[in-house]
């Protein structure tokens, strides 16, 4: 898969190289140079297939030119070895549960795949010229769930170290416990600031040439194309569960917009989705853009769906590229909705009352997104909404909203009892560099 930069000023590179470098040298994000539409018969053959088979078929179609067949299949099956239930709530509404990975949020799809891709790359370095592998430092900024998914995916992997930057006091207790209690090759850094500050710091570190010369630094944020490709797979799987005649509207709870960018890439390959809803909390930079045509990032605001508290979504650049910078084309495919904390709490209660379904706040935002579109002409569409986290990760919000307890899965309960290791910094690159070079 040939990859190019969204900014068009960097050489085209193979996917594996794009993954190894994270950000393109011109500061843009890597995107597939082309996304060949697969023939209808090919999609037809995957209809109703189990998730791992759909994932392997798509991986081969996208990356088969760069990997040995068996190696790629093993990588995908191993990275994505957890179930993807599609739960029907009523005749027009289904929820796609993406939280059955080891850290109970959908970020496991990207993080586990990326870790394996980078490990393969390390082997290449070691075998290629006999140089001792000095080790890779994976730097990741998290608004909550990325940190644990990435830390868990790289935990104990030889020659790698993970540094997790997170906004102090703005992630849930369970989220924090998941990445601060691992130790070993995982360093948790609490930043006195917001997620945007963390993201800015990470970008500054990647852009610092001197630091880059001393360290092999790579990103595990959704700026990495290696995280987005595996996220394309579940769109295909979920859409192919419906009858071929169904019109599908897919509601995506969005923050940094990696998930939606993956959905759009899947659609470009021919996944039968008619429309996307980008559902956000009050951090509404992209909905405002769709509304006004003006892209104006704002400082992020803390909400109860904290993994989506992003004021300057880094994947917006990819989305814009995918639509060739054409606002009308983007509007034709993506609607946007914005939801307050009060609406989200109400939606959690409603899902529980109406369907007996317990949703976390991010999932509830996706549910609210399904109500946003009026479709006067038959046939009535099928609404898919993506469930991105297990409700127990946000029990503080969910329990009062449903008036009952949410059972904490064993691994999450265990994390809460372990000792936490945290380094605190104010938010300057110097402080971060000292940690990275320690
Ligand atoms: C990261 C995250 C999101 C937002 O996904 P993006 O790809 O950043 O838009 C939504 N829900 C949960 C639970 C998340 O962890």
Q: Which residue has the higher pLDDT, 421 or 160?
A: 421
pLDDT(131) > 60: no
The tens digit of pLDDT for each residue in 396-423 reads 999 999 999 999 999 999 999 999 999 9
Report, as an integer, the average pLDDT of 202-209: 89
By C-alpha distance, which of 226, 171, 188, 194 is closest to 14?
226
- State which of 303, 362, 369 you would mutate to test the pocket of ligand 1, scoring each by most atoms of that ligand within 8 A of its C-beta: 362
Q: Taking the alpha carbons of 185, 227, 198, 146 in that order, is the dihedral positive or negative?
A: negative
By C-alpha distance, which of 108, 82, 365, 340 is closest to 220?
108
Exposed, middle or buried, 129 (CB in 10 Å: 0-12/13-18/19+)?
exposed
Interval between CA 423 and ligand 1 midpoint (Å): 25
pLDDT(134) > 70: no
pLDDT at site 143: 81
Report, as an integer, the average pLDDT of 142-165: 88
The verdict on the CB of residue 307 being under 6 Å from ligand 1 is yes
- State which of 235, 312, 388, 412 you would mutate to test the pocket of ligand 1, scoring each by most atoms of that ligand within 8 A of its C-beta: 388
Interval between CA 312 and ligand 1 midpoint (Å): 14
Q: Quote the CA–CA distance of 353 and 385 in Å, as a whole number.
A: 18
Interval between CA 240 and ligand 1 midpoint (Å): 23
The tens digit of pLDDT for each residue in 167-203 reads 999 988 888 999 999 999 999 999 999 988 998 999 8
Residues in Cβ contact with 168 at an 8 Å cutoff, skipping those fewer than 6 apart: 190, 191, 192, 193, 424
Confidence bin at 375 (pLDDT 50/70/90): low
pLDDT at site 120: 80
The tens digit of pLDDT for each residue in 316-360 reads 999 999 999 999 999 999 999 999 999 999 999 999 999 999 999
pLDDT at site 327: 97
Interval between CA 106 and ligand 1 midpoint (Å): 8
Element (H, E) at 320: helix 316-322
Q: Which residue has the higher pLDDT, 85 or 218?
A: 85
Percent of the chain as helix, strand, coil, to the nearest 5: 45, 15, 35
User: 30-39, 69-78, 96-105, 146-155 — which is least confidently predicted?
Assistant: 146-155
pLDDT(121) > 80: no
> What domains are defined for the chain?
1-34 (no CATH), 84-97+228-407 (3.40.50.1100), 103-221+408-438 (3.40.50.1100)
Residues in Cβ contact with 398 at an 8 Å cutoff, skipping those fewer than 6 apart: 348, 358, 359, 360, 361, 391, 392, 406
Interval between CA 192 and ligand 1 midpoint (Å): 22
Confidence bin at 214 (pLDDT 50/70/90): confident
Interval between CA 387 and ligand 1 midpoint (Å): 10
205 to each of 192, 212, 257, 431, how far by Cα in Å?
17, 8, 22, 11
pLDDT at site 198: 94
The tens digit of pLDDT for each residue in 296-315 reads 999 989 999 999 999 999 99
Q: What percent of the chain has pLDDT over 70?
A: 96
Q: Which residue has the higher pLDDT, 133 or 383?
A: 383
pLDDT at site 357: 98
- State which of 144, 145, 220, 230 you would mutate to test the pocket of ligand 1, scoring each by most atoms of that ligand within 8 A of its C-beta: 145
Report, as an integer, the average pLDDT of 383-405: 96
Q: How many helices (H) and strands (E) in the chain? A: 19, 14
The verdict on the CB of residue 277 being under 6 Å from ligand 1 is no
Report, as an integer, the average pLDDT of 247-261: 97
The verdict on the CB of residue 263 being under 6 Å from ligand 1 is no
Q: 3-class DSSP state for residue 88?
A: strand
pLDDT at site 400: 98
The verdict on the CB of residue 105 being under 6 Å from ligand 1 is yes
Interval between CA 262 and ligand 1 midpoint (Å): 12
């Amino acid at each position: 898969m040939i990859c190019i930069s969204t900014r068009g000023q960097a050489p085209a590179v193979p996917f594996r190289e794009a993954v190894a470098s994270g950000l393109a040298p011109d500061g843009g994000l890597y995107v597939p140079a082309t996304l060949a539409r697969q023939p209808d018969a090919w999609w037809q053959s995957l209809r109703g297939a189990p998730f791992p088979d759909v994932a392997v078929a798509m991986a081969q179609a996208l990356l088969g030119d760069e990997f040995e067949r068996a190696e790629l299949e093993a990588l995908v099956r191993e990275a994505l070895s957890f179930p993807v239930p599609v739960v029907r709530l009523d005749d027009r509404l289904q929820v796609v549960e993406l939280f059955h990975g080891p850290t109970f949020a959908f970020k496991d799809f990207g993080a586990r795949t990326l870790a394996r891709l980078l490990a393969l790359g390390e082997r290449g370095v070691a075998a290629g010229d006999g140089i001792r592998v000095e080790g890779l430092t994976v730097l990741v900024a998290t608004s909550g769930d990325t940190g644990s998914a990435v830390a868990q995916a790289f935990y104990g992997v030889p020659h790698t170290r993970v540094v997790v930057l997170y906004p102090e006091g703005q992630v849930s207790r369970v989220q924090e416990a998941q990445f601060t209690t691992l130790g070993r090759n995982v360093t948790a850094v609490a930043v006195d600031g917001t997620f945007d500050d963390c993201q800015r710091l990470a970008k500054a570190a990647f852009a610092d040439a001197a630091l880059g010369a001393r360290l092999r630094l790579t990103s595990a944020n959704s700026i990495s194309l290696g995280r987005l490709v595996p996220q394309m797979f579940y769109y295909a799987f979920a859409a192919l569960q419906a009858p071929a005649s169904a019109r599908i509207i897919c509601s995506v709870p969005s923050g940094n917009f990696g998930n939606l960018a993956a959905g759009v890439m899947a659609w470009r390959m021919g996944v039968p989705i008619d429309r996307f809803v980008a559902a956000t909390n009050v951090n509404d930079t992209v909905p405002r853009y769709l509304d006004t045509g003006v892209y104006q990032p704002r400082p992020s605001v803390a909400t109860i769906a904290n993994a989506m508290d992003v004021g300057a979504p880094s994947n917006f650049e990819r989305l814009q590229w995918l639509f060739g910078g054409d606002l009308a084309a983007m509007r034709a495919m993506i609607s946007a909705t914005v939801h307050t904390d009060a609406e989200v709490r109400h939606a959690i209660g409603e899902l529980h009352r109406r369907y007996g379904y317990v949703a976390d706040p991010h999932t509830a935002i996706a549910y609210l997104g399904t109500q946003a579109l009026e479709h006067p002409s038959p046939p009535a569409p099928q609404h898919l909404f993506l469930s991105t986290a297990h409700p127990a990760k946000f029990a503080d919000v969910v329990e009062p909203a449903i008036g009952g307890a949410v059972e904490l899965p064993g691994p999450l309960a265990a994390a809460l009892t372990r000792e936490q290791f945290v380094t605190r910094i104010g938010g300057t690159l110097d402080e971060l560099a000292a940690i990275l070079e320690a």
